Amino acid sequence: MSDEAPEGRPLRADAQSNHDRLLTVAAQAFARDGAAASLRAIAQEAGVGIGTLYRRFPSRESLVEAVYRNEVAGLCRAADELIGEAAPLDALSAWMERFVDFMHAKHGMKDTLRGVLTSEDDRLRTRALLCDALATLMDAGIREGLVSSGPDPYDVLMTLGGITLIAEDRARALRMTDLLLNGLRARTPPLDSLVVVDGRDG
């Protein structure tokens, strides 16, 4: 938990220790109580004042993001592995499933996670990380002509995020993901290389 190294000059020793303790306690609290965990209680359990918590993590999102940063990073790394293991569309599908499962596991943190995905705050690098991972997966599909080159990966990520935000159960989320995936597929073969032989009315 000491792997946090904020930019700028290093934190004062006591501040760093408080920071680390907050993260540890917050991780436990979120796991135990869900996103509804009281920030006041977290601060108290970590032995700091509520003011200290808010100075270090100005928004609930920033705390959540810090707690789950490693997990998200793992999700992003998985994209590269999947590309090596499966056909592009399968890799894309599998990654989206992992994304859904990750978000689903954070049950009750939906409002917070929306903040993570949409915040303008540059310090929240998570969004950019996810976006890169998805772009990599899409590119692999585009190179093989299986995925349309039109859609912006960011839009796709947001749609995926929207799905996980609103879907109550995993099964529905996966069906919705399929819908999205279908929308991503390139229309093959190209229309102008085709002709109708047995048209039964248009």
Partner DNA sequence: CGTATTAGCGGAGCGTGCTCCGCTTACATG
Partner DNA sequence: CATGTAAGCGGAGCACGCTCCGCTAATACG
Helices 110-118 and 153-166: crossing angle, nearest 10°?
A: 170
| Residue 147, phi then psi, degrees to nearest 5 | -120, 140
**Minimum CB separation from a copy of itself for residue 9, in Å?**
33
CA distance 130 to 94: 15
Instruction: Kindly tell me the burial class for residue 109, based on how many C-beta atoms sit within 10 Å of its own C-beta (0-12, 13-18, 19 or more).
Output: buried
Per-residue tokens: 149: 């080159």
Q: Find which of DNA, a copy of itself, none residue 103 binds, CB within 5 to 8 Å per kind.
A: none
CA distance 124 to 148: 29
**What does the angle CA 118 – CA 123 – CA 124 come to, to the nearest 5 degrees?**
40
Name which of 78, 124, 70, 69 is nearest 97 in CA terms: 78
112-151 footprint of a copy of itself as x/- string (CB under 8 A)? --x--xx--------------------------x--x--x
Indicate the residue type of 144: E
Choices 9-17, 76-84, 129-137, 151-159; region in contact with DNA by CB under 7 A: 9-17
Instruction: Kindly tell me the burial class for residue 18, based on how many C-beta atoms sit within 10 Å of its own C-beta (0-12, 13-18, 19 or more).
Output: buried
Choices 36-44, 84-92, 94-102, 190-198; region in contact with DNA by CB under 7 A: 36-44
5-34 footprint of a copy of itself as x/- string (CB under 8 A)? ------------------------------
With contact defined as beta carbons under 8 Å apart, do 187 and 148 qualify? Answer: yes
Give 115's contacts (C-beta < 8 A, 6+ positions apart). 59, 60, 61
Using CB under 7 A, pick the residue from 1, 4, 34, 55 that binds DNA.
55
Q: Find which of DNA, a copy of itself, none residue 102 binds, CB within 5 to 8 Å per kind.
A: none
Using CB under 7 A, pick the residue from 24, 28, 52, 119 that binds DNA.
52
Using CB under 7 A, pick the residue from 1, 31, 41, 128 that binds DNA.
41
When asked if residue 31 is in the footprint of DNA (CB under 7 A), the reply is no
Residues within the interface to DNA (CB under 7 A): 11-15, 18, 37-41, 47-52, 54-56, 58-60
Residues within the interface to a copy of itself (CB under 8 A): 110-111, 114, 117-118, 145, 148, 151-152, 155-156, 158-159, 161-168, 172, 175-176, 179-184, 187-189, 192-200, 202
